[in-house]
Protein backbone atom coordinates (compact mmCIF):
# COMPACT_ATOMS: atom_id res chain seq x y z
CA UNK A 1 0.00 0.00 0.00
CA UNK A 2 1.17 3.53 -0.68
CA UNK A 3 2.64 5.72 2.03
CA UNK A 4 0.13 7.34 4.39
CA UNK A 5 -1.55 10.41 3.03
CA UNK A 6 -0.63 12.01 6.33
CA UNK A 7 2.90 12.50 5.01
CA UNK A 8 1.71 15.64 3.20
CA UNK A 9 -1.24 16.72 5.31
CA UNK A 10 -2.72 20.20 4.81
CA UNK A 11 -1.95 22.95 7.32
CA UNK A 12 -3.87 23.29 10.53
CA UNK A 13 -7.35 24.76 10.55
CA UNK A 14 -8.18 26.93 13.59
CA UNK A 15 -10.53 25.18 15.96
CA UNK A 16 -13.75 26.65 17.28
CA UNK A 17 -13.77 28.16 20.75
CA UNK A 18 -16.21 25.52 21.95
CA UNK A 19 -14.16 22.64 20.59
CA UNK A 20 -10.53 23.14 21.69
CA UNK A 21 -7.99 20.99 19.93
CA UNK A 22 -4.70 20.79 21.85
CA UNK A 23 -1.73 20.46 19.56
CA UNK A 24 1.49 19.06 20.98
CA UNK A 25 4.76 20.15 19.47
CA UNK A 26 6.03 17.95 16.66
CA UNK A 27 8.70 15.49 17.72
CA UNK A 28 12.34 16.17 16.95
CA UNK A 29 13.81 14.59 13.84
CA UNK A 30 14.00 10.82 14.31
CA UNK A 31 16.56 8.39 12.87
CA UNK A 32 15.75 7.55 9.25
CA UNK A 33 14.07 4.22 8.49
CA UNK A 34 15.97 2.08 6.00
CA UNK A 35 14.18 1.23 2.72
CA UNK A 36 14.39 -2.51 3.41
CA UNK A 37 12.85 -2.13 6.87
CA UNK A 38 10.10 0.09 5.50
CA UNK A 39 9.27 -2.42 2.76
CA UNK A 40 9.16 -5.23 5.30
CA UNK A 41 6.83 -3.24 7.55
CA UNK A 42 4.54 -2.40 4.64
CA UNK A 43 4.30 -6.07 3.73
CA UNK A 44 2.88 -6.92 7.14
CA UNK A 45 4.90 -10.14 7.16
CA UNK A 46 6.24 -10.58 10.70
CA UNK A 47 9.04 -12.95 9.74
CA UNK A 48 10.19 -10.72 6.92
CA UNK A 49 10.10 -7.75 9.27
CA UNK A 50 12.15 -9.44 11.99
CA UNK A 51 14.65 -10.63 9.38
CA UNK A 52 15.01 -7.10 7.97
CA UNK A 53 15.36 -5.70 11.48
CA UNK A 54 18.14 -8.11 12.42
CA UNK A 55 19.92 -7.54 9.10
CA UNK A 56 19.87 -3.75 9.40
CA UNK A 57 23.46 -2.63 10.14
CA UNK A 58 22.16 0.50 11.86
CA UNK A 59 20.45 -1.62 14.56
CA UNK A 60 17.45 0.74 14.61
CA UNK A 61 15.64 1.65 17.80
CA UNK A 62 12.00 0.64 17.29
CA UNK A 63 10.85 3.54 19.44
CA UNK A 64 12.71 6.14 17.40
CA UNK A 65 13.13 5.13 13.76
CA UNK A 66 10.73 6.91 11.38
CA UNK A 67 10.10 7.86 7.76
CA UNK A 68 10.72 11.32 6.33
CA UNK A 69 7.13 12.20 7.23
CA UNK A 70 7.64 11.13 10.83
CA UNK A 71 5.73 7.86 10.54
CA UNK A 72 6.98 5.24 12.98
CA UNK A 73 6.87 1.52 12.29
CA UNK A 74 3.53 1.35 14.12
CA UNK A 75 2.15 4.11 11.87
CA UNK A 76 3.18 2.04 8.85
CA UNK A 77 1.61 -1.15 10.23
CA UNK A 78 -1.59 0.71 11.15
CA UNK A 79 -1.94 2.31 7.72
CA UNK A 80 -1.36 -1.04 6.04
CA UNK A 81 -3.95 -2.77 8.21
CA UNK A 82 -1.54 -5.29 9.71
CA UNK A 83 -2.77 -6.21 13.24
CA UNK A 84 -0.24 -9.02 13.76
CA UNK A 85 2.71 -6.76 13.02
CA UNK A 86 1.18 -3.96 15.08
CA UNK A 87 0.83 -6.35 18.01
CA UNK A 88 4.47 -7.41 17.68
CA UNK A 89 5.60 -3.79 17.66
CA UNK A 90 3.52 -2.92 20.72
CA UNK A 91 5.06 -5.79 22.66
CA UNK A 92 8.55 -4.58 21.80
CA UNK A 93 7.93 -0.83 21.91
CA UNK A 94 4.66 0.10 23.69
CA UNK A 95 5.59 3.78 23.60
CA UNK A 96 4.80 3.83 19.87
CA UNK A 97 1.10 3.89 20.70
CA UNK A 98 1.26 7.62 21.46
CA UNK A 99 3.77 8.52 18.73
CA UNK A 100 3.00 11.42 16.38
CA UNK A 101 4.12 11.94 12.81
CA UNK A 102 4.84 15.30 11.18
CA UNK A 103 1.09 15.89 10.76
CA UNK A 104 0.53 15.01 14.44
CA UNK A 105 -1.33 11.85 13.45
CA UNK A 106 -1.15 8.96 15.91
CA UNK A 107 -1.13 5.36 14.67
CA UNK A 108 -4.82 5.28 15.62
CA UNK A 109 -5.52 8.13 13.19
CA UNK A 110 -3.94 6.18 10.34
CA UNK A 111 -5.69 2.93 11.24
CA UNK A 112 -9.05 4.73 11.29
CA UNK A 113 -8.27 6.55 8.04
CA UNK A 114 -7.42 3.27 6.34
CA UNK A 115 -10.52 1.57 7.70
CA UNK A 116 -8.32 -1.00 9.46
CA UNK A 117 -10.86 -1.81 12.17
CA UNK A 118 -8.89 -4.75 13.56
CA UNK A 119 -5.90 -2.50 14.12
CA UNK A 120 -8.17 0.17 15.64
CA UNK A 121 -9.53 -2.38 18.12
CA UNK A 122 -6.01 -3.63 18.86
CA UNK A 123 -4.64 -0.16 19.58
CA UNK A 124 -7.56 0.74 21.83
CA UNK A 125 -7.23 -2.53 23.73
CA UNK A 126 -3.47 -2.09 24.06
CA UNK A 127 -3.89 1.39 25.50
CA UNK A 128 -6.61 0.25 27.89
CA UNK A 129 -4.41 -2.59 29.09
CA UNK A 130 -1.31 -0.47 29.62
CA UNK A 131 -3.30 2.32 31.24
CA UNK A 132 -4.99 -0.09 33.66
CA UNK A 133 -1.65 -1.63 34.60
CA UNK A 134 0.03 1.70 35.27
CA UNK A 135 -2.99 3.10 37.11
CA UNK A 136 -2.33 0.71 39.96
CA UNK A 137 0.98 2.46 40.61
CA UNK A 138 0.15 5.92 39.29
CA UNK A 139 -3.12 7.59 40.17
CA UNK A 140 -2.55 10.18 37.42
CA UNK A 141 -2.39 7.55 34.65
CA UNK A 142 -3.91 8.94 31.42
CA UNK A 143 -7.39 7.82 30.46
CA UNK A 144 -8.36 6.17 27.19
CA UNK A 145 -9.56 9.54 25.94
CA UNK A 146 -5.95 10.64 25.65
CA UNK A 147 -5.76 8.22 22.74
CA UNK A 148 -9.23 8.38 21.19
CA UNK A 149 -9.47 12.18 21.41
CA UNK A 150 -5.95 12.99 20.28
CA UNK A 151 -6.09 15.60 17.52
CA UNK A 152 -3.82 16.09 14.54
CA UNK A 153 -2.84 19.30 12.73
CA UNK A 154 -6.32 19.48 11.27
CA UNK A 155 -7.72 19.42 14.79
CA UNK A 156 -9.43 16.10 14.10
CA UNK A 157 -9.76 12.87 16.06
CA UNK A 158 -9.43 9.36 14.62
CA UNK A 159 -13.23 9.18 14.39
CA UNK A 160 -13.26 12.11 11.97
CA UNK A 161 -10.95 10.08 9.73
CA UNK A 162 -13.10 6.95 9.97
CA UNK A 163 -16.28 8.88 9.14
CA UNK A 164 -14.71 10.75 6.23
CA UNK A 165 -13.65 7.44 4.69
CA UNK A 166 -17.01 5.80 5.34
CA UNK A 167 -15.41 3.11 7.50
CA UNK A 168 -18.27 1.98 9.73
CA UNK A 169 -16.43 -0.91 11.40
CA UNK A 170 -13.59 1.39 12.46
CA UNK A 171 -16.10 3.99 13.66
CA UNK A 172 -17.92 1.33 15.67
CA UNK A 173 -14.70 0.28 17.40
CA UNK A 174 -13.89 3.88 18.28
CA UNK A 175 -17.34 4.82 19.58
CA UNK A 176 -17.52 1.62 21.62
CA UNK A 177 -14.38 2.77 23.41
CA UNK A 178 -15.42 6.43 23.70
CA UNK A 179 -19.19 7.06 23.22
CA UNK A 180 -18.75 10.84 23.38
CA UNK A 181 -16.48 11.05 20.32
CA UNK A 182 -19.27 11.56 17.78
CA UNK A 183 -20.14 14.97 19.21
CA UNK A 184 -16.63 16.47 19.28
CA UNK A 185 -15.88 19.16 16.71
CA UNK A 186 -12.76 19.15 14.59
CA UNK A 187 -10.68 22.09 13.44
CA UNK A 188 -13.20 22.94 10.71
CA UNK A 189 -16.01 23.04 13.28
CA UNK A 190 -17.54 19.73 12.20
CA UNK A 191 -18.39 16.86 14.51
CA UNK A 192 -18.17 13.32 13.09
CA UNK A 193 -21.94 12.94 13.22
CA UNK A 194 -22.39 16.20 11.30
CA UNK A 195 -19.88 15.02 8.69
CA UNK A 196 -21.82 11.78 8.26
CA UNK A 197 -25.10 13.64 7.84
CA UNK A 198 -23.62 16.13 5.37
CA UNK A 199 -22.30 13.21 3.30
CA UNK A 200 -25.73 11.56 3.32
CA UNK A 201 -24.31 8.46 4.99
CA UNK A 202 -27.42 7.01 6.59
CA UNK A 203 -25.67 3.94 7.97
CA UNK A 204 -22.97 6.00 9.62
CA UNK A 205 -25.47 8.45 11.14
CA UNK A 206 -27.48 5.58 12.57
CA UNK A 207 -24.34 4.05 14.05
CA UNK A 208 -23.15 7.29 15.62
CA UNK A 209 -26.54 8.33 17.04
CA UNK A 210 -27.05 4.86 18.49
CA UNK A 211 -23.70 4.78 20.26
CA UNK A 212 -23.39 8.45 21.26
CA UNK A 213 -23.42 9.38 24.92
CA UNK A 214 -22.79 12.84 26.32
CA UNK A 215 -19.68 13.13 28.49
CA UNK A 216 -21.69 14.23 31.50
CA UNK A 217 -24.88 12.23 31.17
CA UNK A 218 -26.71 9.97 28.75
CA UNK A 219 -28.55 11.82 26.03
CA UNK A 220 -31.50 10.92 23.86
CA UNK A 221 -31.17 10.84 20.07
CA UNK A 222 -33.04 14.10 19.43
CA UNK A 223 -30.71 16.38 21.46
CA UNK A 224 -27.73 14.80 19.68
CA UNK A 225 -29.19 15.57 16.27
CA UNK A 226 -29.98 19.13 17.27
CA UNK A 227 -26.77 20.00 19.06
CA UNK A 228 -23.85 18.45 17.16
CA UNK A 229 -22.67 21.42 15.18
CA UNK A 230 -21.08 22.05 11.84
CA UNK A 231 -19.84 25.24 10.15
CA UNK A 232 -21.81 28.35 10.99
CA UNK A 233 -23.60 26.69 13.90
CA UNK A 234 -25.48 24.24 11.68
CA UNK A 235 -26.81 21.07 13.28
CA UNK A 236 -27.12 17.52 12.01
CA UNK A 237 -30.70 18.32 11.02
CA UNK A 238 -29.48 21.19 8.83
CA UNK A 239 -27.13 18.80 7.06
CA UNK A 240 -29.90 16.24 6.58
CA UNK A 241 -32.25 18.78 5.03
CA UNK A 242 -29.56 20.14 2.72
CA UNK A 243 -28.88 16.64 1.36
CA UNK A 244 -32.58 16.33 0.43
CA UNK A 245 -32.34 12.58 0.92
CA UNK A 246 -35.87 11.28 1.52
CA UNK A 247 -34.85 8.00 3.13
CA UNK A 248 -32.37 9.87 5.27
CA UNK A 249 -34.95 12.33 6.59
CA UNK A 250 -37.54 9.62 7.24
CA UNK A 251 -35.02 7.81 9.44
CA UNK A 252 -35.10 10.55 12.07
CA UNK A 253 -37.36 10.25 15.14
CA UNK A 254 -40.92 11.59 14.97
CA UNK A 255 -39.93 14.33 17.42
CA UNK A 256 -37.74 15.80 14.70
CA UNK A 257 -40.57 16.32 12.19
CA UNK A 258 -41.46 19.85 13.32
CA UNK A 259 -37.84 20.95 13.32
CA UNK A 260 -37.28 19.45 9.87
CA UNK A 261 -40.33 21.31 8.51
CA UNK A 262 -39.01 24.55 9.99
CA UNK A 263 -35.63 23.97 8.38
CA UNK A 264 -37.22 23.29 4.99
CA UNK A 265 -39.03 26.64 5.29
CA UNK A 266 -35.71 28.31 6.12
CA UNK A 267 -33.88 26.71 3.18
CA UNK A 268 -36.61 27.65 0.69
CA UNK A 269 -36.80 31.23 1.94
Q: Please give the pLDDT value at position 178.
A: 93
Whether 268 maps to a domain, the answer reads: yes
For residue 188, name the pLDDT band (cuts at 50, 70, 90).
confident
Q: How many domains would you assign to the chain?
A: 2
Q: Are residues 126 and 23 in the same domain?
A: yes
Chosen domain end from 123, 155, 187: 155
Cα–Cα distance measured from residue 136 to residue 170, given in angstroms and rounded to the nearest whole number: 30
Rounded to 5 degrees, φ, ψ at 111 are -65, -45
pLDDT(243) > 70:
no
The residue from 103, 121, 155 where one domain ends is 155
158 vs 21: which has the higher pLDDT: 158
CA distances from 187 to 80, 155, 176, 184, 191 (A): 26, 4, 23, 10, 9
Angle at 89 between CA 86 and CA 90, to 5 degrees: 85
Residue 26 within a domain: yes
- In angstroms, the CA 147 to CA 167 distance is 19
CA distances from 117 to 98, 122, 170, 171, 254 (A): 18, 8, 4, 8, 33
Q: What is the mean pLDDT of residues 136-141?
A: 38
Rounded mean pLDDT, 129-137: 54
Q: Do both 46 and 133 map to the same domain?
A: yes
Q: Which domain holds residue 99?
A: 16-155
CATH code for the domain of 92:
1.25.40.20
pLDDT at 216 over 70: no
Query: DSSP letters of 117-157?
Result: HHHHHHHHHHHHHHHHHHHTT-TTPPPTHHHHT---TTS--
Same domain, 23 and 147: yes
- Between the alpha carbon of residue 219 and those of residues 179, 184, 211, 225, 263, the distances in Å are 11, 14, 10, 10, 23
Which is more confidently placed, 133 or 182?
182
Residue 37 sits in the same domain as residue 150 = yes
Whether residue 269 has pLDDT greater than 90? no
pLDDT at 199 over 70: yes
What is the pTM assigned to this prediction?
0.77
Residues 121 and 239 in one domain: no
Q: Domain containing 268 — which CATH number?
A: 1.25.40
Amino acid sequence: MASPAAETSPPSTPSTASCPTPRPDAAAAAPSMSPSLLRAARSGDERRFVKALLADPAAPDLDAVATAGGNTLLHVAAWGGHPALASLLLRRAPGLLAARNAALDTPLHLAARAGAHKVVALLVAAFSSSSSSSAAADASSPSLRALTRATNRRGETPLHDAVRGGHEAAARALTAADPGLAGLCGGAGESPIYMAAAAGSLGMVRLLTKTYRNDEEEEEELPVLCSCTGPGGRTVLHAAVLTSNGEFLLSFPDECSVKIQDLFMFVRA
